[in-house]
Amino acid sequence: MSDVTHLLDAAAAGDPRAAAVLLPLVYDELRKLAAARMAEERPGQTLQATALVHEAYLRMVDGPERAWDSRGHFFAAAAEAMRRIVVETARRKNRLKHGGGHERVEVELAELPTRLPPDDLIALDDALAQLEQLDPVKARLVTLRYFAGMTVEQAAEVLNISRVTAHRYWTFARAWLHQQITGAAQE
């Protein structure tokens, strides 16, 4: 068992010292995942990768469910925490009170490619919740890929499934989510 796994067990048991020692060991990896995720957000995003890592870590360590049985399980929980934070931020920004009815215009000439605007991010989260009811493994795969920025191979390792299965699940999940999101938008 690695040091990280021992510390995860101790943190899950409520040892506050273990949680303090754990963060430096996993911080760089969590920061890379968060930076990859935040790089795909719209320009002008106020949520920074560092803040995303810190918020996700606090939710995981202080949250009710702290029993991680492996390093992979820990990073899957981190991806889920990041997903929730990003979606909550999108929902909050989408409210009229926070300028949801206005479009931010960047002064820069070069436009950066983005993946999803806040409305579509919320639709993705809703569709992902439906997928989770139908097939939790495929939903976790999408969460790891989209919200944590893992490759299919990394996600396969975390989920303890073969790479071929992970690629097949990813292809299916993307098509299913696209159908759910575009079908909902047309109604």
Q: What is the pLDDT of residues 135-176, one digit of tens each?
A: 999 999 998 888 888 889 999 999 999 999 999 999 898 888
Q: Note the pLDDT of residue 113.
A: 29
Tell me which of 4 and 91 has the higher pLDDT.
91
Q: Note the pLDDT of residue 116.
A: 53
Q: In this structure, is residue 172 part of a structural domain?
A: yes
Q: In this structure, is residue 39 part of a structural domain?
A: yes
Q: In this structure, is residue 90 part of a structural domain?
A: yes
Q: In this structure, is residue 107 part of a structural domain?
A: no
Domain that holds residue 154: 3-100+115-186
pLDDT digits (tens, 9 = 90+) for 62-118: 666 656 667 777 778 888 888 888 888 878 777 655 454 545 444 332 332 235 555
Number of domains observed in the structure of the chain: 1
- The identity of residue 40, as a single letter, is E
Q: In this structure, is residue 105 part of a structural domain?
A: no
Distance CA(11)–CA(142), nearest Å, equals: 27
Q: In this structure, is residue 106 part of a structural domain?
A: no
Q: In this structure, is residue 169 part of a structural domain?
A: yes
Indicate the angle between helix axes 16-39 and 49-62, nearest 10 degrees: 140
Contacts of 134 (CB under 8 A, 6+ apart): none
Q: In this structure, is residue 59 part of a structural domain?
A: yes
